[in-house]
Homo-oligomer: A and B are copies of this chain.
Amino acid sequence: MGLRTPEEYREGLRDGREVWVRGERVDDVTLHPGIGIAIDHGANAFELAFDDVTRDLATCKINGELSSRYFAPLDTLEAVKTRSRLIEEHTRRARGSLNLIKAVGTDAYAALRSTSFAVDRSEGTEYGERVAAFYAECACADKSVVLAQTDVKGDRSLAPHAQPDPDMHVRIVERRSDGIVVDGAKAHTTMTPVADELVVLPTRAMSEADADYAVAFAIPPATEGLRMICGPLPEPGSTFDRPVSTRNVEIETLTVFDRVFVPWDRVFLAGEHQYAATLATTFATYHRFTAVSYKLPMIELLLGCATLIAELNGVGRASHIREKLARIVQYLELLRSCVQTAAASAVTVEGGWYLPNPVYTNVGKLHFAQDFHTIVQYVQDIAGGFAITAPWEADLLSSDTGPWVRKYMQGAAGSDAELRLRLFNLIRDLTASDYGGYNLVVTLHGEGSLQAQLLQTLRDTDLGPALLAVADAMDVELPSVSTQPTSPLPIVR
């Protein structure tokens, strides 16, 4: 099969999938204006393979065939590093907007692969082969693969089986000879209406009582009983007024599983509850590495906005402005150093692939999620009030208002009102709009909450050297304190 063109990807989406927008069924997702933006955005993932500049980065031979590099085995440190570069460059070409249509499903690939090695070894199951076969098929057919992980959860203080309604987490309701039947719903499933395959993973550790909830599998979005209810969709419009949100936006659904059947060859976990945590955490770690990689271009874009608007406003030399620019640089480069260190010090997991170093991955993710609102504040602070009050393209183009807008939107000597206006609009689009709000919340909650990352960071850390330093400083031997990282990751030590 080999690499698909963007047009082939687009065509593949006309398969009768059940997508709902504001209570109405969408007949053909490719014809819907809002979903269409997500499809265009998704199509970028296929364009990379046909662009002279990105081809080498975006493709590689897999099983002898030229394929998307997203499916490449992470069997060398170089492969980990290259994957990060691919995600970064992909995002850069999507105006800093994350584009998970291939990344998230292959993050799941790596997690399923190493976890299934562990499960199969202990439990005598054959998940490993199924995982390998499924992804070989996806690579060969150049499919986009997305993910559903976060359950709707109901009362978050209760375990899955203890909820008043047992469907608050996706679960096996029937085991048949040919496969399983699942019920439940997943929240915030990204790009499902415009993807080729959907992988489902558990969202947390499961006890024995939760065994039916320890389930992982893959299905095509057009599977019967799968219902995708779209949240907010982007809206088409002037690319002058909204340069990013008219073109590069992901969409999210509440994804309902209404007695969905999954054949056994696509079931990757079915009741082995003691591995739910491993699978969830390993996926989270791979996916946070994707996150730290895709965040770089967004921050770079914000840094560029702040730098340029400072110049155009004539305040580029002011001390407090330069301090804020330096803070944005610091935020960006601390993140970049985490990405590079996570790749350079990746660890080996069961099955022999590499996992980006969990400590640096979590620390990086925590860093960008923790401070992003502050960075947005810096950008808005430097931009000034025009970030929300600047006129629109139509005001500039009108022969009535255009001359006034051109005259009064001038900035520092030599700066062009149109450029300045474009820039204010870009800043509004990125930070002070529906899309800006999406950016803020995705940064906080994408790939897990702040609290989850704080605790994960601590669990991933070997505190031994720190305790040894204390003992040395005090000239004592310490009573035995367990310092092994406690994360349930399939790391080979």
Q: Tell me if A260 is interfacial: C-beta within 8 Å of chain B.
A: no
17 A-B contacts (beta carbon < 8 Å):
A24-B398, A95-B473, A154-B412, A155-B412, A156-B313, A229-B391, A231-B389, A254-B404, A307-B466, A326-B458, A333-B359, A380-B441, A380-B445, A381-B449, A384-B449, A385-B446, A387-B441
Chain A 398-425 interface mask (CB, 8 Å, partner B; 1/0): 1011101101111111101001001100
Q: Tell me if A300 is interfacial: C-beta within 8 Å of chain B.
A: yes
Residues of B within 8 A of A156 (CB): 313-315, 412
**Contact call B461/A329, Cβ cutoff below 8 A:** yes
| Chain B residue with the shortest CB-CB distance to A340 | B341
Q: Which of A403-462 contact B (CB under 8 A)?
A: 404-405, 407-414, 416, 419, 422-423, 426, 428, 431-434, 436-438, 440-442, 444-446, 449-451, 454-455, 457-458, 461
Q: Tell me if A191 is interfacial: C-beta within 8 Å of chain B.
A: no
Q: Tell me if A1 is interfacial: C-beta within 8 Å of chain B.
A: no
Instruction: Give the number of times this chain occurs in the complex, counting copies.
Output: 4
Given A377-B373, A385-B188, A314 and B158 touching (CB < 8 A)? yes
Which residue from B23, B395, B410, B445 sits with its C-beta under 8 Å from A20? Answer: B395
Q: Tell me if A239 is interfacial: C-beta within 8 Å of chain B.
A: yes
CA distance A74 to B467 in the complex (A): 33
Question: Other than the known A301-B469, A308-B478, what 10 A-B pairs have Cβ atoms closer than 8 Å?
Answer: A22-B398, A23-B395, A25-B400, A185-B404, A229-B395, A326-B366, A333-B338, A388-B437, A422-B474, A437-B437
List 4 tightest A-B contacts by C-beta distance, closest first.
Answer: A432-B437, A23-B398, A304-B466, A155-B314
Which residue from B326, B334, B363 sits with its C-beta under 8 Å from A454? Answer: B326
Chain A 338-376 interface mask (CB, 8 Å, partner B; 1/0): 101110110000000000000110011011000001101
Which residue from B252, B334, B384, B467 sits with its C-beta under 8 Å from A363? Answer: B334
CA distance A334 to B433 in the complex (A): 29
**Contact call B412/A465, Cβ cutoff below 8 A:** no
**Contact call B341/A337, Cβ cutoff below 8 A:** yes
**Contact call B426/A20, Cβ cutoff below 8 A:** no
**Contact call B330/A340, Cβ cutoff below 8 A:** no
Q: Tell me if A394 is interfacial: C-beta within 8 Å of chain B.
A: yes
Q: Tell me if A476 is interfacial: C-beta within 8 Å of chain B.
A: yes
Expressed in whole angstroms, the minimum distance between the Cβ of A83 and any Cβ of chain B is 18
Expressed in whole angstroms, the minimum distance between the Cβ of A462 and any Cβ of chain B is 10
Which residue from B307, B341, B384 sits with its C-beta under 8 Å from A445? Answer: B384
Residues of B within 8 A of A465 (CB): 300, 304
Range of interface residues on chain A?
Answer: 35 or more
Q: Tell me if A222 is interfacial: C-beta within 8 Å of chain B.
A: no
**Contact call B437/A441, Cβ cutoff below 8 A:** no
Stretch at the interface among A135-143, A270-278, A316-324: A316-324
Given A311-B481, A411-B154, A445-B385, A469 and B297 touching (CB < 8 A)? yes
Given A426-B470, A473-B244, A322 and B455 touching (CB < 8 A)? yes
**Contact call B320/A319, Cβ cutoff below 8 A:** yes
Which residue from B167, B187, B301, B325 sits with its C-beta under 8 Å from A385? Answer: B187
Q: Tell me if A66 is interfacial: C-beta within 8 Å of chain B.
A: no
| Chain B residue with the shortest CB-CB distance to A305 | B470
Q: Tell me if A31 is interfacial: C-beta within 8 Å of chain B.
A: no
Residues of B within 8 A of A491 (CB): none
**Contact call A391/B254, Cβ cutoff below 8 A:** yes
**Contact call A325/B458, Cβ cutoff below 8 A:** yes
**Contact call B336/A252, Cβ cutoff below 8 A:** no
CA distance A394 to B21 in the complex (A): 9
Expressed in whole angstroms, the minimum distance between the Cβ of A228 and any Cβ of chain B is 10
CA distance A436 to B437 in the complex (A): 7
**Contact call B313/A92, Cβ cutoff below 8 A:** no
Given A325-B458, A408-B152, A22 and B395 touching (CB < 8 A)? yes
Residue of A323, A411, A470 with most chain B CB atoms under a 10 A cut-off? A470
**Contact call A466/B363, Cβ cutoff below 8 A:** no
